[in-house]
Structure 1
Amino acid sequence: MKNSVKLLGASVLSMAVALPAFAGEITVYTAYEEDEIASYVAAAEKAIPDLKINVLRLSTGTLAARLIAEAGNPQADMLWGQAITATMDPQILDQLEPYEAEGADALDERYRDPENRWFAPTGYMGTFCVNTARLEQKGLPMPASWKDLEDPAFKGEIIMANPTSSGTGYLHVIALLHELGEEEGWAQLERVDANIAQYTSSGSKPCKSVRSGEYTVGISLAITAAQSVEQGYPVKAVFPEEGSGYELEAAGLMKASDNKEDVKRFMDWLLTDEAIALYEDYKILIAAPGTTPAQSAIDAGVPEDVQSILADIDFPKSAEQQDEVKTTWKEKFGR
């Protein structure tokens, strides 16, 4: 007998695996990428063979809007892999029911809600993606901080994700504002803006433009830098001394679910050794204690202790500030 994992709506993905008759079925909303979903769900259904997991994959913003729109008649049993900044919206957070998944008590407090409404098995983080060949060709110093990017020698050599349209851009900006304070944080961004050649709508594009030799520094995603090194590009990931911005990918049980026990089985699986091993294929930031980045990430410049370089971000405050920060950004840097 064959089972298919369904990506409903905007994105459809299917696979067939031999399973016994289903005892349970759940619908999960997620913002994870499709290749991740396929890997995680196939492994989870193999580990829980009487559970069928139907998945709707949407972008972070679209997913948040759908959850809010469906608040009066929720269709999902579970939220999974959604940016915590979006999840902190009370219109979404209030739809989640407390449940302490197996293994969640071992997570650092930054990776779980004190009321157990969510926990984050994974996340993603920002970095300066530096083309070492172009850096040497231009005679530029290796930057170690946002302050280093003020150097007039970098004028026209930096490309950055725009925080008004890119979650990656936003995590960089909010990290700087929370670490330096708003006054100095904005002042620092203004000083670096003088050297920015372009702001992009994509979080990965700055690193991809840098690795192709168009620019020297891309304020971008760490995973893209690691993938670029693995593919042979002359790239190094530099994590700013002020602290690296990051986002968490939350999982939570929907209050309105009619399949709560089945959801709990899947949530318990998310922190198993098997799941954690799979995360290492796609993630640099993994919440489980004792995990280290893949060798390709370390080769790119990611430290073994990723936690040590993370900025001190107040996520509830970050969620509240989004509209204000984006408005201020447009006023200061809109081009």
Structure 2
Amino acid sequence: MRPYRQIACTVALGAACGVANAGSVTVYSALESDEIATYLDAAKKALPDLDIHVLRLSSGDLAARLLAESAQPRNDAIWGMAVTDMLDPRIAALLTPIHGDNIDRMPARFRGADASWFAPTGYLAALCVNREALAERGLPVPRTWQDLTSPRYRGQIAMPDPASSGTGYMVLSSLSDAGRSAKGMALVTAIAHNVGQITLSGSAPCKLARIGEFPIGVSFAFSAMQSIRQGYPVTMVIPSDGAGYELEGSALMKDAAHDADARRFLDWTASPEAASLYRGFKEIVAAPGSKPTEEQQRQGLPADLVATLPARDFTMAARERAALIARYKRLTR
């Protein structure tokens, strides 16, 4: 899952709108704080009678909190959690089907078959490549995952640990088909043997690459595009031999205290209005007809990104998480 800062924040909207609150909803989210602020500014205008309380947690802390509170959930909804975490059977058991005018219009691949989740957004694995650092070392720009297995890149790669980083697990599970592909497992383990530093988060490799400490960082596209926007000598490479990606799911709690209000809010998060805001932060936006912005395309995202994403078995990836990570650790010792 995409890395998130280890912070929590609560945002309440509605009372400030100068209207009597007709409802209230408590939402747990692993989205970034700046995203939440942007989205909720629009949500309070669309739903002025709704008091929306958002508790922002890192992805790992969010999963842990849901499990700790499972006997008596304190939230009504989940907003923006990696689907491979959300489909942990212990968390999936806390959810109930959710429908809505906007939710039901989303493409089927971005909704759970049992309607227990939907994913308006997602993120894509990418390489952050420091052109200057590569040139100093006399190395070519890698274009594929297979390129990263070359001995020439030994010690030149920073990569996140799949045990601590959602991005790391995204790469491992995507490229190995949740461990079912022997070829894919051989690929990811060969890359691991060239890694010079293993990081705890998915954004850290890109940060190391942009300052030249390592010329290549295995990260995610938003981090790469952010580095480019900030003026670092970084090129974003989307490997041409396999797309690693994760969806950010939202869901309704089975025991939601404010069921109707939670449904209203969740359906808004799947609206075209929300989708227009997601494009400022996300590589993958599920709204029909959505495509990367012109800036994102200039930085390397394909215009037909969503259409070219391979199918992923998120249920399998969730179920096999612990076993797959343990297997990977054994193979990369």
| TM, length-normalised to structure 2 | 0.92
8 A Cα contact 2:192 2:332, kept in partner: yes
State the distance in 1 between where 2:104 and 2:12 align: 34
Q: Secondary structure at the match of 1:329?
A: helix
Among the aligned pairs, what percent are the same residue? 43
Residue 106 of structure 1 corresponds to 105
Residue 11 of structure 1 corresponds to 9
Per-residue CA deviation, residues 220-257 of structure 1 (Å, 9 max, x unaligned), is 11101001111111212111223221111111111211
The alpha carbon displacement at 1:261 in A equals 1.4
The alpha carbon displacement at 1:67 in A equals 1.4
8 A Cα contact 1:179 1:243, kept in partner: no
Structure 1 residues 309-318 or 44-53, which shifts more?
309-318
8 A Cα contact 1:123 1:286, kept in partner: yes
Per-residue CA deviation, residues 1-59 of structure 1 (Å, 9 max, x unaligned), is xxxxxxxx943456784331100001111111111111112211111110000111111
User: Given residue 209 of structure 1, which amino acid in structure 2 is its aligned partner?
Assistant: L
Residue 239 of structure 1 corresponds to 238
Residue 259 of structure 1 corresponds to 258
Structure 1 residues 299-308 or 30-39, which shifts more?
299-308
User: Given residue 266 of structure 1, which amino acid in structure 2 is its aligned partner?
Assistant: F
The alpha carbon displacement at 1:132 in A equals 2.0
Structure 1 residues 92-101 or 202-211, which shifts more?
92-101
User: Given residue 320 of structure 2, which amino acid in structure 1 is its aligned partner?
Assistant: Q
Residue 89 of structure 1 corresponds to 88
Residue 326 of structure 1 corresponds to 325
8 A Cα contact 1:85 1:316, kept in partner: yes
Residue 163 of structure 1 corresponds to 162
RMSD over aligned CA atoms reads 2.0
Structure 1 residues 31 and 181: alpha-carbon distance in aligned structure 2, compared to 1, 3 A threshold: same
Residue 282 of structure 1 corresponds to 281
Q: What count of residue pairs does the alignment treat as equivalent?
A: 326
State the distance in 2 between where 1:164 and 1:240 align: 23
The equivalences for 1:155-194 within 5 A come to 155-178=154-177, 181-194=180-193
State the distance in 2 between where 1:29 and 1:105 align: 22
Residue 71 of structure 1 corresponds to 70
User: Given residue 287 of structure 2, which amino acid in structure 1 is its aligned partner?
Assistant: A
| TM, length-normalised to structure 1 | 0.91
State the distance in 1 between where 2:258 and 2:159 align: 43
The alpha carbon displacement at 1:190 in A equals 2.8
Structure 1 residues 95-104 or 284-293, which shifts more?
95-104
Structure 1 residues 179 and 84: alpha-carbon distance in aligned structure 2, compared to 1, 3 A threshold: closer
User: Given residue 28 of structure 1, which amino acid in structure 2 is its aligned partner?
Assistant: V
Q: Secondary structure at the match of 2:205?
A: helix
The alpha carbon displacement at 1:304 in A equals 1.4
For the pair 1:216 / 2:238, whether they are aligned, the reply is no
Per-residue CA deviation, residues 50-97 of structure 1 (Å, 9 max, x unaligned), is 000011111112211221222221111111111111111122212212
User: Given residue 299 of structure 1, which amino acid in structure 2 is its aligned partner?
Assistant: R
State the distance in 2 between where 1:257 and 1:189 align: 41
State the distance in 1 between where 2:18 and 2:118 align: 29
Structure 1 residues 202 and 241: alpha-carbon distance in aligned structure 2, compared to 1, 3 A threshold: same
User: Given residue 132 of structure 1, which amino acid in structure 2 is its aligned partner?
Assistant: R
Residue 3 of structure 1 corresponds to none
Residue 132 of structure 2 corresponds to 133
Residue 116 of structure 1 corresponds to 115
Residue 315 of structure 2 corresponds to 316
Per-residue CA deviation, residues 160-196 of structure 1 (Å, 9 max, x unaligned), is 1111111111101111101894322222223223321
Residue 5 of structure 1 corresponds to none
State the distance in 2 between where 1:94 and 1:202 align: 28
Structure 1 residues 26-35 or 325-334, which shifts more?
325-334
Structure 1 residues 309 and 178: alpha-carbon distance in aligned structure 2, compared to 1, 3 A threshold: same
State the distance in 1 between where 2:178 and 2:138 align: 30
8 A Cα contact 2:66 2:91, kept in partner: yes
User: Given residue 258 of structure 1, which amino acid in structure 2 is its aligned partner?
Assistant: A
8 A Cα contact 1:226 1:297, kept in partner: yes
8 A Cα contact 2:12 2:53, kept in partner: no
State the distance in 1 between where 2:123 and 2:254 align: 27
